[in-house]
């Protein structure tokens, strides 16, 4: 698998707020954790419900891949995110730990940092 390509397509789906496309990246029994779901979500249905609410409540966000590193069973990826048009709502730097089951995400842990204005 070309992890840089996978990561770029995955982040493009986040930018598009495309719940169907995003859920297709994840295994049915996936585990997802981000700062808002530190206890984690289990399963594609729970992830779908979370993303639907999240995307309805957030402004446009543009995710730009930075680097990826292969690890046994997956990869780590760093990205930047501009919130709102042209980053008017701020910028984030994020990092994903991704464990794959075949070509689908079994575990995704997201770490995010606010960037200075």
Beta-bridged to residue 99, according to DSSP, are: 74, 107
38 falls in which pLDDT band (50, 70, 90)? confident
Domain extent listing, the chain: 3-114
7: left (phi over 0), alpha (psi -120 to 50) or beta: alpha
pTM of the model: 0.93
Tokens, residue 64? 């730009």
43: left (phi over 0), alpha (psi -120 to 50) or beta: left
For residue 117, what pLDDT is reported? 72
- The CATH number of the structural domain formed by 3-114 is 3.10.450.50
């Amino acid at each position: 698998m070309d992890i840089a390509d996978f990561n770029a397509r995955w982040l493009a789906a986040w930018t598009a707020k495309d719940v169907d496309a995003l859920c297709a990246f994840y295994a049915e029994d996936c585990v997802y954790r981000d700062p808002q779901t530190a206890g984690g979500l289990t399963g594609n249905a729970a992830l779908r419900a979370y993303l639907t609410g999240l995307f309805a409540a957030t402004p446009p966000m543009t995710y730009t891949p930075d680097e990826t590193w292969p690890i046994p069973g997956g990869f780590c990826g760093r990205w930047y995110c501009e919130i709102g048009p042209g980053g008017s709502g701020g910028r984030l730097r994020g990092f994903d730990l991704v464990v794959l089951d075949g070509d689908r995400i079994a575990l995704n842990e997201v770490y995010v940092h606010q960037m200075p204005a």
